[in-house]
Amino acid sequence: MKKNTNLRSVAAQTIEKVIEQGQSLSNVLPAAQKSVGEKDAALLQELCYGVLRTLPQLEWIISRLMSRPMTGKQRTIHFLIMVGLYQLMYTRIPAHAALAETVEGAIALKRQQLKGLINGVLRQFQRQQEELMQQMNDGDQQYLHPKWLLERLKRAWPGQWQQIVDANNQRPPMWLRVNRNHHSRDAWLALLEESGKTAFAHPQHSDALRLEAPCSVGQLPGFDQGWVTVQDASAQGCVALLDPQNGEKILDLCAAPGGKTTHILEAAPHADVMAVDVDAQRLARVNENLERLNMQAEVKLGDGRTPEAWCGKTQFDRILLDAPCSATGVIRRHPDIKWLRRDRDIAELALLQQQILDAVWPHLKPGGTLLYATCSILPEENHLQISQFLQRHADTKLSETGDLAQPGIQVFPQIDGGDGFFYAKLIKQ
């Protein structure tokens, strides 16, 4: 660790940026990890992800242990106390070390006068832990989701909401996609097993493997040569439904970071692929992925609502639209989604999806396929969106994915399975 860098204080400041400033954890965490050094990057990630995963419990406990919340300039201390509680509740860090390091965090944050307060709150929690944990499991805070989202899930999926919430609260499994142009899945699995690791094949998705225990990509045979890619199993389901063919002109819209672009090219190496995204920073990742896998695609910055600006009058044989969405199906990978999203966002996202769908439909050739996909589990973005699209466009036929009463396929997050995902395959008549 670098001198004078207290890891707990860095965790508190990172969490504060997410909760108070609405920044995404994947945007703020890399710089924070650099500040603590390579050795401690994994622990910093564990503390940040863990606090964001269990936030309602930590808030509830603090409300029982302190007569008034820390506000204003002292707000960072509120998050530092959360970091301390999370360590005591959910990690194997010895309690004395967790306490000492968290209290030291006050010095790094130039709040030395609050060391006694932090120490007092954490020690009081230790004394009352059993009793508090028992009381805590009686209220909504046990579900670790904001109230508005819980209500939406209960309304949409009365029989499944508890299973969804439970899967959302787990650590995500690590799924891989074997590049069929280098090895069959079984052949690469044999190489993995030779390196002392175990993985399990997905029953439906022919390129997908789940690692028994996550590891760094450097430990995966042939990662740098493009033999394998990290991609969730549900996201891999898109390419089988899209069914890309060599020689076709294919659009991957909202393509960043490029997992699906490269999967299309693995399935159809001689397809002419255009990858488009509105975010220049994330678009750079598409180029990185193409380079690692030694693949070519036309990569363009563009807004899905105005296709003429980036493709003129071009028409495509197939379009994969992985639409911008609430990302409520990938909460276990991004627990900050629970605290960054608002109830009102859902209607705004549904409108954006509708605008992109309507704008891009004229760019699909007659007889062509459009695969609409989201990593959401909310009906407004999924089957209701597609129902309305089918009503607006008489030249559309639903194929392989549900029926007119309930169009599309909705996948829920599964503890040892893929993320929450939705697919609807549309053919232009």
* From 48, 238, 325, 375, the catalytic residue: 375
Provide the 3-class DSSP secondary structure of residue 419.
coil
> Measuring CA to CA, which residue among 377, 346, 376, 423 is closest to residue 161?
377
d(CA 141, CA 160): 19
**Sign of the four-CA dihedral 188, 193, 199, 202:** positive
Q: What share of the chain is helix, strand, coil (3-state, %, to 5)?
A: 50, 15, 35
d(CA 338, CA 321): 24
Place of tokens 């991004």: 334
Report the binding-site residues for S-adenosyl-L-methionine.
Answer: 254-260, 277, 303, 322
- Which amino acid is residue 405, in one-letter code? A
d(CA 143, CA 163): 11
Number of DSSP helices (H) and strands (E) in the chain, helices first: 17, 12
Provide the 3-class DSSP secondary structure of residue 398.
strand
Provide the 3-class DSSP secondary structure of residue 247.
coil
| Alpha helical stretches, state H, 169-230 | 185-194
Provide the 3-class DSSP secondary structure of residue 212.
coil
- Which amino acid is residue 204, in one-letter code? Q
Residue 296 buriedness (CB in 10 A; 0-12 / 13-18 / 19+): exposed
> Is 33 within 8 Å of 44 (Cβ atoms)?
yes
> Measuring CA to CA, which residue among 140, 95, 155 is closest to residue 119?
95
d(CA 414, CA 399): 25
d(CA 407, CA 242): 16
**Sign of the four-CA dihedral 344, 346, 347, 348:** positive
Report the binding-site residues.
Answer: 254-260, 277, 303, 322
| Token output for 255 | 């393509």
| Token output for 98 | 């967790």
Place of tokens 């005591």: 88
- Which amino acid is residue 353, in one-letter code? Q
Annotation marks residue 375 as catalytic: yes
Task: Supply the residues annotated as catalytic.
Answer: 375
